[in-house]
Amino acid sequence: MSGDLAADIKRFALHELGFSLAGIAGADPLAGGARLAEWLERGHHGTMAFLADTAAVRCDPGRFLPGARSVVCVAMSYHEAADPPGPAGATERAAVARYARRPDYHRVIRTRLVRLGRFLAAREPGAAWRPAVDTAPLLEKELAQRAGLGWIGKNTCLVNRALGSELLLGELVTDVALPPDRPETDHCGTCSACLTACPSRAFDAARLLDARRCLAYATIEHRGDFTAALLPSLGNRLFGCDACQSACPWNRRARPSCAPPLAPHAHLAALARSRLEGIDQEGWAALAAGTPLRRLDYPRLVRNLEAITRGAGHRGGA
């Protein structure tokens, strides 16, 4: 019965809910907990104190949902044709990371996970379940690898052989015992293109990212000023950075596979800096509404625009 239920859950996730990938992992504690603890001890999380505060829960789905036995892992692709090549600061465009140019994936994925949970409960009355997107305290990439969706690449992104790494993840943690899928193995080989492409040299080693030197962290999560060391690599990046993913051969080979609910907003792919000059708080709220750009509050928007201007004389990464 459990095998039939697992197949039905994955079928529903893929064909009815529109997820690009679906798999099942066991809910036992994650080996990445030790690596997370070491990473936090190094201070690589910067000012993201919430990562340290929730570390114990992140590495144990049983703390996220008491009695958890299985995790249904899903992914939704936003992979499209590559952006035109060129230096990040070479145009008047304010660069927005590709995942943020579209409807807010938290809402898109969570809504569908709730439907998946209700589907499970209809088949298994009394089942407990809890949905999670990346704001939830779970090591979602390790769970996704355990469920066979892909492997954690050298740039710390989940990579799938067919779809690449432009994937947004979600989980449904449940107390129903479901047969797990086979974990995916590493297929990065000797390639280090993503590490070399990082414009701010944020990787101390493969799969070891120092967020304090990462332009995605600097432009989105960090609330202080930019360091002088980061300005030359900023280019025109307003929100996030795609350099390490753009360099990945698996993304260059992957066919465009953007899930329809995540269709991009054209105006965010070609956002003119002139449109943002003098924009007020209300105007920014309207522009960012319903997209991941809402994460960037107005003071940090102003900070990022000023930093782009200050760094305009420096050549940024691709």
Choose between 237 and 84: higher pLDDT: 237
Can you give the C-alpha Rg of the chain in angstroms?
Answer: 20
Six-digit token string for 303 = 């900070």
92 pLDDT band, cuts 50/70/90, is confident
The Cα–Cα gap between 72 and 91 comes to 43
* Residue 131 backbone zone (phi > 0: left; psi -120 to 50: alpha; other: beta): beta
Q: What percent of the chain has pLDDT over 70?
A: 94
Choose between 82 and 230: higher pLDDT: 230
**Other CB atoms within 10 A of residue 114 CB:** 13
Q: Give me the pLDDT at residue 91, please.
A: 55
Q: Give me the pLDDT at residue 83, please.
A: 78
Q: Give me the pLDDT at residue 139, please.
A: 98
Q: Give me the pLDDT at residue 89, please.
A: 45
270 pLDDT band, cuts 50/70/90, is confident
Q: Within the chain, what is the greatest distance between any pair of CA atoms? A: 64
The Cα–Cα gap between 302 and 238 comes to 10
310 pLDDT band, cuts 50/70/90, is confident
Of 8, 104, 134, 204, which is the active-site residue? 134
Strand order in the sheet with 70-77: 21-26, 70-77, 167-174, 129-132
Concerning whether 134 is annotated as a catalytic residue, the answer is yes
- Of 168, 98, 181, the residue nearest 132 (C-alpha): 168
Q: Is the pLDDT of residue 318 over 50?
A: no
β-strand partners of 158? 152
